[in-house]
Chain A
């Protein structure tokens, strides 16, 4: 059997760093905000001046527990803070306060939906809380600047089991994680702002002629987009495979151990950083400045109550209760507030189908234009419910509904008032419709005759006449009524 025919199974685990969207930093009361001028959100504590002490932000612990519970993790009753030592200019104390052997959350899993409709269950080994470092800024040829606004921002590190076997699963897991933390309201999970960073660990288990080979484990550091993540994983699988083909005995985990590589997004390749064996000895030890964290039942239950229905469960419910498709339900469960809008509108009596159409039609288009979520446009469930009901009761037509939505976005107001003000309410008076129909027939004797004769152009002519009536009504005549009256008039003659 040739080596090309060996069975190759990529083994992939993922570390995901999520910046938590707390008001203040992890161990001081500085503002936690991206994009402010360098070194404006800093104080003696987060720049590590002599004599300062950290004080834990309990909100960040709440947020982390929330994620842990949503990931089906155990929340141990006792956890602690440890110091991780390494020297780097963006780390003011030259140690990072983190959690070493007793993380806040452990032994959970996340079910990630795959494009084929199946579900990949990925184990979560642990999720621990730590402080983020600042940023080195290399915008000057002779100096490196240090911006410490990010130093001390709460960072949740989620470590998966090596349960993924291809780039598609890695992407599905990462996207599900992004959706989950947004859903829980604990992070904006915005890649451009560095709210979410990925570090995949990749190697190959290869079976060839009854022997199993394992390639060295590669950790690709600091990937900050799904594109980079997908590229790095795909590249590493291919690279490791060809390296193994060249040297199956030498390119082995036992000989090479673990290595760090970085992603070059210009050339789309990973590049060697350092042997993991030579890596720092981080000299972890319990931080003596911070008491251990004891999570009692009351605390755990309070946080558990804030974890409401999760995206996958909600999606299933939408499909079943509202009789909508998988794609529609999926689009409506990207974040929690959009689905809340739907649920609330339905509870106000609106027909689900109409609300879904509105949300995924005009509302979604508007949100895309603005680059925000559907729930962030300022439209309320009351507005939505009223509009959906008006459509359902033929008080307006679809064109009118679109105009009302636009008007609501720009000026606010309830749909009924807007429809009245803009004169968009459907004409329910049949005599008015009859009058427009008579006018249309009189003005267009040719098409009228074609309809009556039932020749091959009759259908097209009928459509033309409907259009003439609609135009005369200013779009307010209900199309069904128009068709009905037109049919009556043309057959009655």
Chain B
């Protein structure tokens, strides 16, 4: 039997159901690993030791009694700290919500529990999911298990670090502009951004409401499909969650496509692309070709990535994203005012406006304030048309590009990130450089389509390279099946950092 913390979700679940081991064994193995290594990775904000053991014990009792258990029976899962749980706190890694206890579970968390999963704890993240490195966290940065001097990506960096570092069997993240896929790429794991409306957002603390989706982070594509089976589907408490049947994503996942048309968006393969990543994408294309897939040249003109006169990357999609996401955020985060919940200043305030100002000034970090200011400006009278409305129009053009591209192919293949994991502190003082870490991912959220990032190899410096497969709206099935096809053929599946005994490729 494989060591518990290296097992896939399916292996672990099957072992628990066959009673080769108990759910409690699995929970303890992960809790021990957390004890041993969380201090260096800072992946968790909070660990629910007692609750997790109680949940695992309950699964064991049910199995002993011969009762039916769900498809995630005994699987220890980590949950990003912006997804509400009745256990512990839901802090969004912000001083503003330090100690905040949610009175309810997010729908995705309820569904995990109904499926038998054990919730290990809440993972570190960029404050309110605003960032690409988990460095804006109030609890300090999470670290990349491949090199603790590097960032795990963000904003779901804690979930990615926990999974890659062997501190959970699977994790939930949230993806507004790449926050599941980019850390998945940096940490060598699988991360999915489902179609907007596929997974309920109820209980996900909102950042950019029209872009946010909860997505699974797993060691391989089959696990990702299994988690999607559990969390996807209609929820009457989320009006944006679509009421359409959820296919069985695991069904036929190991069966390769006879004829798969893979689109290569030419605007993503410009001079701006890092040569090592370009090479990895080229190799991936060869793998697909060898499996009988056809590579098609497609165009996403409004998502074009260029370098400007100073050599810096530029993209309409990123500009559009940072207007829409921040505009929505400026409104979504207005409720944190020190009146009803969350941080309230202890200063003696003369009036309510002073109380609001002081509580918000103390409770929010710099990046959150920057985005609230940017979004407030974009929505202000006199600027709305030039910024927010214009961004909505660009968004429509980006979406149209994707629709047209999918007329000619089944999935798109492109990098997840413009570079491998960067060093801690390398970009914290340069917000624009940090924003460009999402240059390959934001257009997917703007278009509302589905995408997954899977490992495509390891760089010369020993860091994982992520590859993105993008499907149409509700195209999760084709995305996951084509990802699995590559995973099986390429051998880049289930990468492990050297510290956990992984081999360098």
- Measuring CB to CB, which residues of chain A are less than 8 angstroms from any residue of chain B? 44, 47-56, 83, 85, 87, 89, 92-95, 146, 281, 283-285, 288-291
Closest Cβ neighbor of A45 among chain B residues: B237
Report whether A85 and B334 are in contact in the complex, using a CB–CB cutoff of 8 Å. yes
In the docked arrangement, what's the CA distance between A53 and B203, Å? 8
Report whether A51 and B239 are in contact in the complex, using a CB–CB cutoff of 8 Å. no
Q: B388 in the interface, Cβ–Cβ < 8 Å?
A: yes
Of the residues B90, B238, B334, contact of A87 by C-beta under 8 Å: B334
> What chain B residues lie within 8 Å of A284 (beta carbons)?
379
Jot down 11 A-B pairs with beta carbons below 8 A, ordered by A: A48-B340, A49-B103, A50-B205, A51-B90, A87-B352, A92-B335, A94-B334, A94-B337, A283-B330, A285-B379, A289-B240
Tell me the smallest distance from the CB of B292 to a CB of chain A, in Å: 41
Q: B328 in the interface, Cβ–Cβ < 8 Å?
A: yes
> What chain B residues lie within 8 Å of A92 (beta carbons)?
335, 340
| 3 A-B pairs closest in CB distance | A94-B334, A288-B209, A288-B210
Given contacts A50-B92, A51-B106, contact A56 B239 (CB under 8 A): yes
Closest Cβ neighbor of A84 among chain B residues: B331
Given contacts A48-B340, A49-B341, contact A283 B331 (CB under 8 A): yes
| B193-209 contacts to A (CB < 8 Å) | 201-206, 208-209
Report whether A53 and B238 are in contact in the complex, using a CB–CB cutoff of 8 Å. yes
Report whether B331 and A47 are in contact in the complex, using a CB–CB cutoff of 8 Å. no
> What chain B residues lie within 8 Å of A48 (beta carbons)?
335, 340
Report whether B381 and A291 are in contact in the complex, using a CB–CB cutoff of 8 Å. no
Closest Cβ neighbor of A89 among chain B residues: B339
Given A83-B331, A288-B328, 12 additional A-B pairs, CB 8 A: A50-B102, A50-B335, A51-B90, A52-B203, A55-B239, A87-B337, A94-B335, A95-B331, A283-B381, A283-B384, A285-B388, A288-B209
> What chain B residues lie within 8 Å of A49 (beta carbons)?
102-103, 341
> What chain A residues lie within 8 Å of B330 (beta carbons)?
283
> What chain A residues lie within 8 Å of B240 (beta carbons)?
53, 288-291
Tell me the smallest distance from the CB of B394 to a CB of chain A, in Å: 16
> What chain A residues lie within 8 Å of B422 (beta carbons)?
none
Report whether B239 and A290 are in contact in the complex, using a CB–CB cutoff of 8 Å. yes
> What chain A residues lie within 8 Å of B328 (beta carbons)?
288
Report whether A51 and B327 are in contact in the complex, using a CB–CB cutoff of 8 Å. no
Report whether A87 and B239 are in contact in the complex, using a CB–CB cutoff of 8 Å. no
Report whether A89 and B352 are in contact in the complex, using a CB–CB cutoff of 8 Å. yes
Closest Cβ neighbor of B105 among chain A residues: A51
Q: B356 in the interface, Cβ–Cβ < 8 Å?
A: yes
Tell me the smallest distance from the CB of A275 to a CB of chain B, in Å: 16
In the docked arrangement, what's the CA distance between A281 and B92, Å? 29
> What chain A residues lie within 8 Å of B205 (beta carbons)?
50-51
Given contacts A44-B104, A87-B356, A291-B239, contact A51 B339 (CB under 8 A): no
Closest Cβ neighbor of A281 among chain B residues: B381
In the docked arrangement, what's the CA distance between A121 and B83, Å? 54
Q: B380 in the interface, Cβ–Cβ < 8 Å?
A: yes
> What chain A residues lie within 8 Å of B102 (beta carbons)?
49-51
> What chain A residues lie within 8 Å of B92 (beta carbons)?
50
Q: B376 in the interface, Cβ–Cβ < 8 Å?
A: yes
Of the residues B103, B201, B210, B341, contact of A53 by C-beta under 8 Å: B201
Of the residues A55, A95, A289, contact of B236 by C-beta under 8 Å: A55
Tell me the smallest distance from the CB of A477 to a CB of chain B, in Å: 70
> What chain B residues lie within 8 Å of A87 (beta carbons)?
334, 337, 352-353, 356
In the docked arrangement, what's the CA distance between A87 and B384, Å? 20
Tell me the smallest distance from the CB of A75 to a CB of chain B, in Å: 21
Report whether B339 and A146 are in contact in the complex, using a CB–CB cutoff of 8 Å. yes
Tell me the smallest distance from the CB of A89 to a CB of chain B, in Å: 5
In the docked arrangement, what's the CA distance between A94 and B82, Å? 20
In the docked arrangement, what's the CA distance between A83 and B103, Å? 25
Tell me the smallest distance from the CB of B273 to a CB of chain A, in Å: 32
Tell me the smallest distance from the CB of A333 to a CB of chain B, in Å: 40
> What chain B residues lie within 8 Å of A289 (beta carbons)?
206, 209, 239-240
Report whether B334 and A93 are in contact in the complex, using a CB–CB cutoff of 8 Å. yes
Tell me the smallest distance from the CB of A278 to a CB of chain B, in Å: 13
In the docked arrangement, what's the CA distance between A95 and B339, Å? 14
Report whether B334 and A51 are in contact in the complex, using a CB–CB cutoff of 8 Å. no
Tell me the smallest distance from the CB of A54 to a CB of chain B, in Å: 7
Q: B97 in the interface, Cβ–Cβ < 8 Å?
A: yes
Q: B118 in the interface, Cβ–Cβ < 8 Å?
A: no
Tell me the smallest distance from the CB of A45 to a CB of chain B, in Å: 8
Q: B406 in the interface, Cβ–Cβ < 8 Å?
A: no
Tell me the smallest distance from the CB of A490 to a CB of chain B, in Å: 85
Tell me the smallest distance from the CB of A90 to a CB of chain B, in Å: 10
Closest Cβ neighbor of B210 among chain A residues: A288
> What chain A residues lie within 8 Å of B103 (beta carbons)?
44, 49
> What chain A residues lie within 8 Å of B90 (beta carbons)?
50-51
Given contacts A95-B334, A283-B376, contact A50 B202 (CB under 8 A): no
> What chain A residues lie within 8 Å of B201 (beta carbons)?
53
In the docked arrangement, what's the CA distance between A94 and B379, Å? 15
Report whether A54 and B239 are in contact in the complex, using a CB–CB cutoff of 8 Å. yes
Closest Cβ neighbor of B209 among chain A residues: A288
Contact with A along B232-250 (1 / 0, CB 8 A): 0000111110000000000
Tell me the smallest distance from the CB of B369 to a CB of chain A, in Å: 16
Report whether B84 and A50 are in contact in the complex, using a CB–CB cutoff of 8 Å. yes
Interface core residue of A51, A93, A95 (most chain B CB under 10 Å) = A51
> What chain A residues lie within 8 Å of B208 (beta carbons)?
288
Interface core residue of A55, A56, A281, A285 (most chain B CB under 10 Å) = A285
Q: B435 in the interface, Cβ–Cβ < 8 Å?
A: no
Closest Cβ neighbor of B339 among chain A residues: A89
Q: B100 in the interface, Cβ–Cβ < 8 Å?
A: yes
In the docked arrangement, what's the CA distance between A51 and B100, Å? 12
> What chain A residues lie within 8 Å of B237 (beta carbons)?
53, 55
Contact with A along B89-121 (1 / 0, CB 8 A): 010100001001011101000000000000000
> What chain B residues lie within 8 Å of A52 (beta carbons)?
202-203
Tell me the smallest distance from the CB of B379 to a CB of chain A, in Å: 4
In the docked arrangement, what's the CA distance between A255 and B339, Å? 38
> What chain A residues lie within 8 Å of B337 (beta carbons)?
87, 94
